[in-house]
A and B are shown apart, each in its own frame.
With several copies, the nearest count.
Chain A
Amino acid sequence: MRYIATIAGQDHEFEVEQTGEQNSFRLRLADNRYDLDLRRAGPSSFSILIGDRVFDFEVTGEGEDLAIASREGVTRIVISDLARRAATSRSARAAQSGRAEMRAMMPGRVVSVLVSLGDEVATGAGVLVIEAMKMENELKAPKSGKVIEIRVVPGQTVEKGELLVIIE
């Protein structure tokens, strides 16, 4: 089975096949080949041996979006098999045009909107103030450009990931 995984913006194409027993796998990555022993120690716990090296992971998330937690911290990863990936990447490219969508990073309440429709903003300029968990946080423009859409008004409650403002 061939996969493609993105970690910190970098794509890794690799292939996994089962070898012999149920827990033995071979992974091919670039010019390297790794023989792995994989055990599941719990619903989200994986113990992996490569040679004598131990790797212990908790894998959470859904579908393609995974978080892999270990003693070294959490690695976020997007994974899919190659066929699915082709479709996904086309739509991703479309989204990455010259526009920036500012979304709520957490659920909260809009305290104030600091820009007006049509305003030209510079990177880092304050755009919105959102209150969450008793703290006010100013959201700054991720890129310079023109405010082409404002989706929220002061006092409004927003969910995590909700679209707030579009800058182009």
Chain B
Amino acid sequence: MFKRVLIANRGEIAVRVIRACRELEIETVAIFSDADRAALHVREADFAVPVGPPPATDSYLRIDRIIEAARRTGAEAIHPGYGFFSENAGFARAVAEAGLVFIGPPPGAIEKMGDKVEARKLMTAAGVPVVPGSPDVLETEAQVRAVAAEIGFPIMLKAAAGGGGKGMREVHRGEELASALRAVIGEAKSSFGSSRFYVEKYLNRPRHIEVQVLADTQGHTVHLFERECSIQRRHQKVVEESPSPFVTPAMRQAMGAVAVRAAKAVGYVSAGTIEFLADADRNFYFLEMNTRIQVEHAITELVTGVDLVKEQIRIAAGAPLPFKQADLTQRGAAVECRIYAEDPENGFAPAPGKIATLRFPDGPGVRVDTGVYQGAEVPIHYDPMIAKLATWGRDRGEAIDRMRRALDEFVIAGELRTNLDLHRWLMRHPQFLGGEYDNNFLEKEYRPPTEESLEGERLAAILMAAAAAYKNHSAPTGVKIMALQPPASAWKIAARLDLLRR
């Protein structure tokens, strides 16, 4: 086993990997940009190395500095987390060339699955069903129109190098095509450095269902059942659950077998996810493979009992999988809510800032993964996801009951805003409770709640708290509620000093 591992990431996933390492008694090396000196992943690591200024391209995306940090600290392996370099074959190769171990799939598998068009071809050849669409990369608007004429609107325009919900647009009518194409090409260039794109049929009431796989270096490949991720906004997952309420036992078995076949077709090793789209008739089509650990891996861990990150590390160290397919079962059900620093009243625009107060839920069946803490500043430079809240229950109903309870216990306030209210709304929505939803559910159904009209004792209590806090802060006239100076203003000073220093 490795003695020391560098984590080329930040936020909750870096903390998650640190926890896995610590359970394996492996020392950890964090890297950090100047914006993250006091971030949780740095505080929790054994070693930490600065890698540059806040913009990711100058720090978390600097191969040279990351490799140098690993060398300097004597790390033997690098875990890429998700995002950043996790699906970058060039990075994986550079790690290997530096004599280090990349905790993830072989570069060849990353490449084969990374180009979405090539992956479609490969999967078709391996007998894996794919979504109808353009057989190859397209280049012009005219080509798109030709494909659309064949498969019919609505269609999806997708960057060939895309992933994570970026570089894609759905087009419902010919008139929307031109602007959507410009947006996809623009995002593809800026996010992935490649403007290649292709077209897929946009399915009727599609559901996003994916299958987790694990493969070791000895040729064993297993699947760990499915996750349903159809609760999305702008093609970004917001809530996931496992098992899917939509998947039948027969469908589950078929999807698992196809997922294993897909992984084997590219010689896959490590943890990975085969994403499928399912239509209303329970046909399912290969969408893409995520050749990394995923944000939503926790719910699979809760249901199967397998620690996916520890398995990734063990596999990278050459260990065989400690279980066979037949040893794996789903127990109960799990739900995950992604907590974003964003403003629901402002089109879910990122709303980062200082976290003045933070209380996490806990107790039976609740798991929180986070990269923040009370007093932390959520930087503007990175992904606005600040925590993942997952719950487990003996059945789906109990998992949701617990999620409702956990969301109620989750208190966060400060400069930032969050989407907690969306989750609270969702966990009471009859369609979600009935498992009756598809990828369009959130876009169709969710409207930011109008502020509740407060009255009676609740209003009185809120006014009292406000008066107490205000009084405490303002000049010491009249009623003196407490000898305590609230630290909010002191924090602000500290925050400003920090800002000046950067």
Q: Tell me the A residues contacting B by CB distance below 8 Å.
A: 1, 3, 5, 7-8, 10, 12, 14, 16-18, 21-23, 25, 27, 29, 32, 34, 36-64, 66-75, 77, 79-81, 105-108, 132-137, 160
Contact = CB atoms under 8 A, between A and B. Distances in A.
Interface of B: 29-30, 37-38, 42-49, 72-73, 166, 183, 186-187, 191, 234, 343, 346-347, 349-353, 356-357, 359, 373-376, 380-384, 408-409, 411-414, 417, 420-421, 424, 450-454, 456-471, 473-474, 478-479, 481-482, 484, 486-489, 492, 494, 497, 501
Contact of B464 (A8, A48, A137): A48
Nearest to A51: B457
Nearest to B28: A54
Given A74-B421, A135-B349, 11 more contacts: A14-B460, A29-B459, A40-B481, A44-B413, A53-B461, A72-B452, A107-B352, A132-B380, A133-B352, A136-B187, A137-B349
B460 A50 contact: yes
Query: B47, B467, B484 — which one has the most chain A CB atoms within 10 A of its CB?
Result: B467
A69 B481 contact: no
B231 to A, nearest CB: 18
B43 A63 contact: no
A105 B346 CA distance: 8
B43 A54 contact: yes
B413 A74 contact: yes
A29 B374 CA distance: 34
B272 to A, nearest CB: 23
Contact of B191 (A10, A32, A50, A134): A134
Q: Which of B411, B452, B474 is the most central at the interface, judged by chain A CB atoms within 10 Å of its CB?
A: B411
A152 B489 CA distance: 31
Contacts of B465: 38, 46, 48, 55, 57, 59, 68
Q: Which 6 A-B pairs have the closest CB atoms?
A: A8-B451, A55-B461, A60-B356, A69-B413, A59-B469, A42-B375
Secondary structure call for the B interface: mixed
B450 to A, nearest CB: 8
B346 A16 contact: no
Nearest to B454: A7
B461 A5 contact: no
Contacts, number: 228
B462 A58 contact: no
A71 to B, nearest CB: 4
A72 B166 CA distance: 33
Contacts of A3: 463, 466-467, 470
B48 A43 contact: no
B484 A133 contact: no
B488 A44 contact: yes
A48 B459 CA distance: 12
Specify which of B30, B488, B494 lies most central, judged by the most chain A CB atoms within 10 Å of its CB.
Answer: B488
A34 B72 contact: no
B343 A105 contact: yes
B37 A47 contact: yes
